[in-house]
Amino acid sequence: MTIKSKSTFVRCEPSQIVEALVGLKDVRVIAYRRIGPDVELVIEQTVLQRSCPTCGGAGQIKERPTVRYVDLPVYGQPMRLAWRKHRLICRRPDCAGASWTSADHRIAAKNCLLTTRCAKWATVQVGTGRAVSDVAGELSCDWHTVNDAVMAYGRALLAADRRRLNATTAIGLDETSFVKLCSRRGRSYATTVADVANHQIIEILPTRSYVDVAGWIDQQPLAWKHRIRFGALDMSATYAAVYTVMLP
């Protein structure tokens, strides 16, 4: 008896492929390209918002620009996502709005050259200790491409994480000195705000000046400031002044 072998390819229909790779249903695959080790998947949206953001009138497609993003590798191969966007203009002649380009944060965030899923993955990698250069090497892209995405997503995570502020009753202020790697030697300082009671970093400020550090504390909720009972510091007169004035 002959046993018929099953195909090893579990996805063959284009919409299923893009759903597996990108995780979106209202996107279709236009083309699949491979040049050497680089793989590019060309996609476009099937659902388009045509309403003018200025007046709400109907818009029409003006151009179809293609924007390329770095995506997660597929089977160890560098992957690029080429998104054929829609640039639209309002059909009303009296509308003061200019043209607008379709956007979808599920595919990629604004001003980010990594896809959303790739940017989230890179943020986790760097956040758990990997060097930005190491992650960029795995994605086969520029260092700044990864760093810009991690900074953007990291700020969003910090803004959403209010628990790190609510739990503490004791904070610590300390400075870190950085030497600039350039022809003219110079130093820059950052201030680490730590939750001493729970052993975690609350914030890192790119300065050690009184105005900036005191300004950060001043921006925090009143209930948080009333909860602080202890402050840790070294012999810094600046940080002592911050505690004295902002958290007497």
Give CB contacts under 8 A, 24+ apart, made by 193-196: 194/232, 195/164, 195/167, 195/168, 195/170, 195/171, 196/168, 196/170, 196/171, 196/172, 196/230, 196/232
Residue 6 has pLDDT above 50, yes or no: no
Model confidence pLDDT, tens digit, residues 167-204: 789 999 999 887 665 555 667 889 999 999 888 888 88
| pLDDT score at 21 | 59
Residue bearing the bigger pLDDT, 8 or 42: 42
Does 128 score more than 50 pLDDT?
Answer: yes
Task: Give the per-residue pLDDT at 245.
Answer: 95
* Rounded distance between C-alpha atoms, residue 100 and residue 9, angstroms: 39
Quote the pLDDT of residue 8. 42
| pLDDT at residue 222 tops 80 | yes
Q: pLDDT tens-digit profile of 12-71?
A: 565 565 556 566 778 888 888 887 777 888 888 887 777 887 887 888 888 889 999 999
Going from the C-alpha of 193 to that of each of 159, 173, 213, the distances in angstroms are: 15, 5, 9
| Core vs surface per residue 103-125: b (16+ CB within 10 A) or e | ebeebbbeebbbbbbbbbbbbeb
What whole-number percentage of the chain has pLDDT above 70? Answer: 85
How does the average pLDDT of the chain come out, rounded? 83
Q: Where are the alpha helices (DSSP H) in 2-115?
A: 14-21
pTM: 0.66
Of 11-25, 112-126, 144-158, 190-204, which range is least confident? 11-25
pLDDT attached to residue 77: 79
For the chain, percent of residues with pLDDT exceeding 90: 37
Please enumerate, as own/partner, the contacts of 177-181 that have beta carbons within 8 Å and a separation of 24 or more.
none
What is the pLDDT at residue 11? Answer: 55
The reported pLDDT for the residue numbered 177 is 83
CA distances 129 to 58, 122, 124, 207, Å, are 48, 11, 9, 23
